[in-house]
């Protein structure tokens, strides 16, 4: 064989080799995680657990690009656009503002959302059973759950004639406020609406609560409040304000009582849906899920510190009692 022919043959063989390597070493899929605030280690661990149940492990066969607005919702559109520009394979958008920003940024990249109030009313999906488009995920909208919290708090603090509802104005939840107003009217208590969208506004809201002699406070389910749950629990203790939360983690951190869905359970399912889409499922074929099970947690130590006696009727219904 002539030297020139040998070089051509060798070059051809070398050209074929990288293509085989590339086939075996296909670039890892990339998840773009878009959050209005930091979800915290517990929720991210649950998300990764869900991913692992579909066969994906971060750093081994999937990469995650994190984009967190840290409570600055006006940053979300730019963060979403950045993920789209990086051509991620799927966007995992926690909360309504993140999902809306992601939807505005792309109509082709699949989007999975979590902790969204009403995805139909907000225009994220066409319907629960048939989402349509490129979005699906998990709604935390449960009819009657907000009034149930007011009922539990009234049962626990029957002397409270004024009850406050703390809401985040950055994520309007008119349906929950309306439900709460109707429930307060039935109970014959005055409802005080307090708004807080920053850490300093949370401090101010609790000061207002005391000034207006509110006997208890309902913390509206909200991702920002979740991220500030320890601040909320500390302020409730400092001002001796009985408070009810959605999340078990708040009661475990010293909050009086919680009633709602398990966020860690939702984030695990969030990870599972994201993994299914990486495997080829289409968002339009995955129905939007709503919560079906709820947990009631009571912190007896906190109740005693507040001078409250927890009625046997609540203890009998509690899924967990912290002593």
Domain identity same for 209 and 63: no
For residues 188 and 92, membership in a common domain is answered with no
The tens digit of pLDDT for each residue in 16-61 reads 434 443 334 458 999 999 998 888 888 999 999 999 999 999 999 9
What is the three-class DSSP state of 155?
helix
Share of the chain above pLDDT 70, in %: 91
- 10: in domain: no
Residue pair 243/231 in contact by the 8 Å Cβ criterion: no
Residues 86 and 105 in one domain: yes
Burial zone of 208 (CB within 10 Å; 0-12 exposed, 13-18 middle, 19+ buried):
middle
Same domain, 75 and 165: no
pTM over 0.95, yes/no? no
pLDDT, tens digit, 9 for 90 and up, residues 83-125:
999 999 999 999 889 999 999 999 999 999 998 878 998 899 9
Q: Is 315 found in the same domain as 226?
A: yes
190 and 277 part of one domain: no
Q: Which of 127-131, 163-167, 169-173, 272-276 has the lowest mean pLDDT?
A: 169-173
Q: What confidence tens digit (pLDDT) does each residue in 148-173 have? A: 999 999 999 999 999 999 999 987 77
Cα–Cα distance for residue pair 30/91, rounded to 1 Å: 9
297 band by pLDDT with thresholds 50, 70 and 90: very high
Given pLDDT bands bounded at 50, 70 and 90, which one contains residue 236? very high
Looking up residue 150, the CATH number of its domain turns out to be 3.40.50.2300
Tally of domains in the chain: 2
Residue 220 and residue 305 in one domain? yes
Contact between residue 86 and residue 30 where contact means Cβ atoms under 8 Å apart? yes
Q: Residue 133 domain-assigned? A: yes
Q: What's CA 125's distance to the chain center, in Å?
A: 18
Tokens of 244: 């009810």
Contact between residue 275 and residue 29 where contact means Cβ atoms under 8 Å apart: no
Whether the per-residue pLDDT at 12 is higher than 80: the answer is no
Q: Is the pLDDT of residue 269 over 70?
A: yes
The boundaries of the domain holding residue 95 are 30-141+263-285
Instruction: Let me know whether 159 and 188 are in one domain.
Output: yes
Is 91 in the same domain as 38? yes
């Amino acid at each position: 064989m002539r030297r020139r022919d040998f070089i051509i043959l060798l070059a051809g063989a070398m050209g074929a080799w990288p293509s085989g390597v590339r086939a075996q070493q296909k670039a890892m899929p990339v998840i773009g995680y878009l959050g209005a605030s930091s979800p915290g280690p517990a929720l991210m661990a649950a998300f990764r657990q869900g991913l692992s149940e579909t066969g994906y492990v971060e750093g081994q066969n999937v990469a995650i690009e994190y984009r967190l607005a840290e409570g600055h919702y006006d940053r979300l559109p730019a963060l979403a656009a950045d993920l789209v520009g990086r051509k991620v394979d799927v966007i995992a958008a926690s909360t309504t503002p993140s999902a809306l920003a992601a939807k505005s940024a792309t109509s082709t990249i699949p989007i999975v959302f979590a902790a969204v109030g009403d995805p139909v009313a907000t225009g994220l999906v066409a319907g629960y059973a048939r989402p349509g488009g490129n979005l699906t995920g998990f709604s935390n909208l449960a009819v009657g759950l907000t009034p149930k919290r007011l009922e539990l708090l009234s049962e626990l603090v029957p002397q409270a004639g004024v009850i406050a509802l703390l809401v985040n104005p950055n994520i309007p939840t008119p349906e929950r406020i309306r439900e709460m107003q109707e429930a307060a009217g039935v109970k014959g208590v005055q409802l005080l609406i307090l708004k807080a969208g920053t850490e300093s506004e949370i401090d101010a809201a609790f000061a207002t609560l005391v000034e207006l002699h509110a006997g208890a406070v309902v913390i509206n389910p909200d991702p920002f409040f979740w991220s500030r749950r320890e601040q909320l629990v500390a302020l409730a203790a400092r001002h001796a304000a009985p408070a009810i939360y959605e999340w078990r983690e708040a009661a475990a951190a010293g909050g009086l009582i919680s009633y709602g869905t398990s966020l860690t359970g939702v984030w695990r399912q969030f990870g599972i849906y994201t993994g299914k889409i990486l495997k080829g499922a289409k968002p339009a074929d995955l129905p939007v899920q709503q919560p079906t099970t709820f947990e009631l947690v009571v912190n007896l130590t906190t109740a005693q510190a507040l001078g409250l006696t927890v009625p046997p009727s609540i203890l009998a219904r509690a899924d967990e009692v912290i002593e």
